[in-house]
Amino acid sequence: MHAIGIDIGGTKVAGALVDEAGAIHRLERRPTPAGDPAAILDVVVELIRELSDGHDIVAAGVAAAGFIDVTQSLVYYAPNINWRGEPLRELLEARLPGLDITVDNDANAAGWAEYRFGAGRGTTDMTMLTIGTGVGGAIVSGGQLFRGGFGAAGEIGHLRVVPNGHPCGCGQKGCIEQYGSGRALLRFANEIADAGGIGRELDIARTANGGTLDGAIVSELIQLTDAGALAALHELGDWLGQACASIGAVLDPQVFVFGGGVAVAGDLLLDPIRAAYLAHLPARGFHPEPVFAVAELVNDAGVVGAADLARIHARRS
């Protein structure tokens, strides 16, 4: 039986027809009509209808960045869409009668996909961190997606690691998002370029790009094993490893999975994360050590996870 997964991103809305093994049979994308919640709703309905045509669909799941209530129905707050207390599930079911609809946080959907079909399969406890412009997170504990009492659990990016540290968009200071994200990597790279020495190639690349470093430039220098770029990545990994040690003390996952654009660095990122994790691990040497892995489903994780969570919800209803 097939289910449909929808992933609402800042620039595009992706929709997929997904089977029970997590395989995508059809994938469609539409531009996100940013700033127009009603138009976004129209795009989601259009994609679900199009992907349903000719198929027996058991459910459809919608994933979006934001706080979703524990019943997978209400969007408390979506930072990139003007949804505040939006009854998204109710609105979609009114336009798609007879179809079981669920709504999930996008990081939860991606994390669930990795747990079921990707780097976390075969485990019971997994924590995923998505390293992009910010830091997203998802927690699977005892084989269940951990949502918390109100549905907003798993916001790992806002774990505070530095008292009175860099200001964060959430309104607090010192969140791991300010030290373990793609934005943080660029800050570290600029600081290394400013210092000279191993930052020479970063400085040259920055000058050639009109005085600005971007993710593509730093990523290319990382792949070329430039010492300055690797030092910036190592600093990023060190912060993430420290955060994982704190997370591990609470959740004790069998595997940490890292997704997002920065994770394409693979072991160049995982090695400093592992080292910092072990350096800060309580009772090191007397505690089993988790696996550190890169996400496998990459850009498809959101639609696959949303579809699978919707299928599970429909079976329980």
**Residue 43 and residue 129 in one domain:** no
Give tens-digit pLDDT for 229-270. Answer: 999 999 999 999 999 999 999 999 999 999 998 999 999 999
What 3-state DSSP class applies to 129? strand
Q: Which of 20, 89, 21 is nearest to 57 (CA)?
A: 20
Residue type at position 193: A
DSSP 220-234: HHHHTT-HHHHHHHH
Residue 10: per-residue pLDDT: 81
**Residue 170 and residue 269 in one domain:** yes
**Residue 56 and residue 73 in one domain:** yes
H helix intervals, 53-164: 88-95, 106-117
H helix intervals, the chain: 37-52, 88-95, 106-117, 182-195, 200-208, 215-223, 227-251, 267-279, 301-316
**Residue 158 and residue 289 in one domain:** yes
Whether 67 is covered by a domain: the verdict is yes
Residue 78: per-residue pLDDT: 82
Whether 117 is covered by a domain: the verdict is no
Instruction: Summarize the chain as % helix, strand, coil (round to 5).
Output: 45, 25, 35
**Residue 52 and residue 199 in one domain:** no
Whether 251 is covered by a domain: the verdict is yes
Arithmetic mean of pLDDT over the chain: 94
**Residue 291 and residue 146 in one domain:** yes
For residue 316, pLDDT beyond 90: no
Give tens-digit pLDDT for 160-170. Answer: 999 999 999 88
Burial status of residue 134 (CB atoms within 10 A of its CB: 0-12, 13-18, 19 or more): buried
Least confident of 43-47, 148-152, 193-197: 148-152
Whether 178 is covered by a domain: the verdict is yes
**Residue 144 and residue 291 in one domain:** yes
**Residue 153 and residue 181 in one domain:** yes
CA distance 292 to 297: 16
**Residue 130 and residue 263 in one domain:** yes
**Residue 290 and residue 303 in one domain:** no
Q: Which of 16, 18, 68, 71 is nearest to 47 (CA)?
A: 16
Query: In percent, how much of the chain has pLDDT > 70?
Result: 100
Residue 21: per-residue pLDDT: 96
**Residue 16 and residue 92 in one domain:** yes
Provide mean pLDDT across the span 214-230: 96
Per the structure, how many domains does the chain have? Answer: 2
**Residue 279 and residue 201 in one domain:** yes
- Is 85 in contact with 68 (CB distance < 8 Å)? no
User: What is the CATH classification number for the domain harbouring 21?
Assistant: 3.30.420.40
- Is 17 in contact with 308 (CB distance < 8 Å)? no
Provide the pLDDT confidence category of residue 1 given band limits of 50, 70 and 90.
confident
Residue 210: per-residue pLDDT: 97
Whether 50 is covered by a domain: the verdict is yes
CA distance 63 to 68: 9
Structural domain span for residue 92: 2-112+299-316
Place of tokens 């299928």: 311
Give tens-digit pLDDT for 13-62. Answer: 999 999 999 999 999 999 999 788 899 999 999 999 999 998 999 999 99
